[in-house]
């Protein structure tokens, strides 16, 4: 598995194998030294070395030019222009993911939640395991490392489950994400000339594009891992059916959300401090989460905006208003749930505009044009040669229905021990999914969105 992982990563650019190897060696030996050291100051020093090495590498490759460019802008604004010294730095694929993964190992060893690994090969596989190396899920050492020590043999049931996950992941990526991409790219490229309705459709389609793209990769990574007898954590649980923003973040990119919760939010004090401190902690987590996604102010704004979204639910919870249940299991209760889903989805789509835009000003102009254009219902700009919006809407409706049916399951295709479901409904989904994948392979393939992070 280590050889396969290094060949897989080196196929993109072999030079960056030295980078991932360096991170692996540093954290492997720091983990060993932490187990032997009892002096608190020296343990803190060892942890800081790991943090500075990992975040230092991530910061240099991902944020160096961002900080330099903004530094130059600030000096120019105050009338002291300086020359640019930006470098042409290639961002290593997956560095944000494996950096957080190996960093979590060091922190867990420091906290004495995990015994340090003595097997260098096993630890190297943990850092570089190829199915989830470049786009997650971000695994914890406490869960993933012990699985490498077990004697593994191929299990038929896990193999079938893996194939099902790969199939559904391919459907999400090829049929949903890649079919949305041409329309999204065209609408965002021509946002100044599009009607309000088209701009709304573009934002909604991007919401489905990024969900299908990222969760599709996660499903395939989890599915491939099952061939090796490895269980990875679920990364998405139908997030667009969330009834509020906190629930959305419990369902979206779960591995990253829980990472920030355990290694940033709780160390800052979590929800146990004064209200002003808790608000600070919430914004720190969301802004850092936004900045993790890329070196652009759009991601920072996107993170801060989600922090604003999160606050009302926090105050409602703190006032214990959520314990008041009106008309439980009634039509009124279900109507409130539907409205909650609609509002949460609308807020999420609004935030995605900033995530997708090239810069902050573009995002504000895009949103302003939704309400400013007089020809709001003009859909003429949706016509693209070789791409049918009607077929795409059919796929989206099919996708939403299947997601709704399995919204409380770990993934699609879970057996229900029901003849009608397991012998008729599931094969029908297989058939539609495979046909849609075949028919959609003529579309231009797009790289996974999260490869850029």
Give me the active site residues, please.
Answer: 293
Could you give the CA distance from residue 122 to residue 296 in angstroms, rounded to a whole number? 36
Tell me the three-class secondary structure of 208-275, residue by residue: HHHHHHHHHHHHHHHHHHHHCCCCCCCCCCCHHHCCCHHHHHHHCCHHHHHHHHHHHHCCCCCCCCCH
Contact 300, 359 (CB under 8 A): no
If one counts every other C-beta atom within 10 angstroms of the C-beta of residue 52, the result is: 11
The length of the chain is 453
Could you give the CA distance from residue 252 to residue 245 in angstroms, rounded to a whole number? 10
Q: Which two tokens stand for residue 278?
A: 């808790």
Q: Which two tokens stand for residue 317?
A: 């919870």
What is the maximum alpha-carbon separation in the chain? 75
Which residue is associated with the tokens 């999400």? Answer: 172
Is the preceding peptide bond at 211 cis, omega within 30 degrees of 0? no
Could you give the CA distance from residue 26 to residue 120 in angstroms, rounded to a whole number? 11
Phi, psi values for residue 185, rounded to 5° = -60, -40
If one counts every other C-beta atom within 10 angstroms of the C-beta of residue 432, the result is: 15
Could you give the CA distance from residue 435 to residue 421 in angstroms, rounded to a whole number? 20
- Quote the radius of gyration of the chain (alpha carbons, Å): 23
Tally DSSP H helices, then E strands, for the chain: 18, 0
């Amino acid at each position: 598995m280590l050889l396969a992982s290094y060949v897989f990563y080196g196929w993109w650019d072999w030079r960056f194998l030295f980078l991932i190897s360096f991170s692996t060696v540093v954290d492997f030996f720091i983990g060993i030294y932490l187990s032997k050291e009892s002096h608190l100051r020296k343990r803190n020093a060892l942890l800081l070395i790991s943090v500075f090495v990992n975040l230092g590498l991530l910061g240099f490759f991902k944020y160096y030019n961002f900080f330099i460019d903004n530094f130059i802008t600030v000096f120019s604004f105050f009338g002291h222009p300086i020359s640019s010294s930006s470098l042409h730095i290639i961002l290593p694929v997956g560095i944000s993911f494996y950096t957080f993964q190996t960093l979590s190992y060091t922190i867990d060893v420091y906290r004495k939640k995990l015994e340090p690994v003595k097997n260098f090969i096993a630890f190297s596989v943990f850092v570089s395991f190829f199915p989830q190396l470049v786009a997650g899920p971000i695994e914890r050492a406490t869960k993933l490392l012990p699985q490498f020590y077990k004697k593994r043999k191929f299990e038929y049931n896990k193999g079938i489950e893996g194939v099902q996950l790969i199939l559904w992941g391919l459907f999400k990526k090829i049929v949903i994400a890649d079919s949305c991409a041409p329309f999204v790219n065209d609408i965002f490229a021509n946002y100044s000339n599009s009607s309000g309705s088209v701009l709304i459709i573009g934002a909604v389609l991007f919401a489905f594009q990024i969900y299908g793209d990222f969760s599709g990769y996660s499903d395939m990574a989890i599915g491939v891992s099952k061939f090796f007898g490895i269980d990875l954590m679920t990364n998405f649980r139908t997030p667009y059916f969330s009834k509020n923003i906190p629930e959305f973040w419990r369902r979206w990119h779960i591995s990253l959300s829980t990472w920030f919760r355990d290694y940033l939010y709780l160390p800052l004090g979590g929800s146990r401090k004064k209200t002003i401190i808790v608000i600070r902690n919430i914004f720190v987590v969301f802004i850092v989460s936004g900045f993790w996604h890329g070196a652009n102010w759009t991601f920072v704004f996107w993170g801060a905006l989600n922090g604003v979204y999160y606050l009302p639910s926090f105050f409602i919870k703190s006032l214990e208003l959520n314990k008041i249940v009106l008309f439980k299991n009634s039509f009124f209760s279900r109507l409130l749930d539907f409205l909650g889903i609609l509002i949460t989805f609308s807020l999420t789509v609004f935030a995605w505009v900033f995530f997708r835009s090239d810069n902050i000003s573009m995002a504000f102009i895009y949103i302003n044009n939704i309400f400013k254009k007089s020809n709001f219902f003009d859909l003429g700009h949706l016509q693209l040669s070789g791409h049918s919006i009607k077929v795409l809407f059919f796929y989206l409706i099919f996708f939403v229905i299947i997601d709704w049916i399995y919204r409380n399951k770990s993934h699609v295709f879970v057996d229900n021990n029901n003849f009608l479901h397991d012998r008729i409904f599931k094969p029908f989904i297989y058939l539609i999914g495979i046909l849609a994948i075949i028919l959609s392979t003529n579309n231009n393939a797009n790289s996974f969105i999260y490869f850029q992070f």
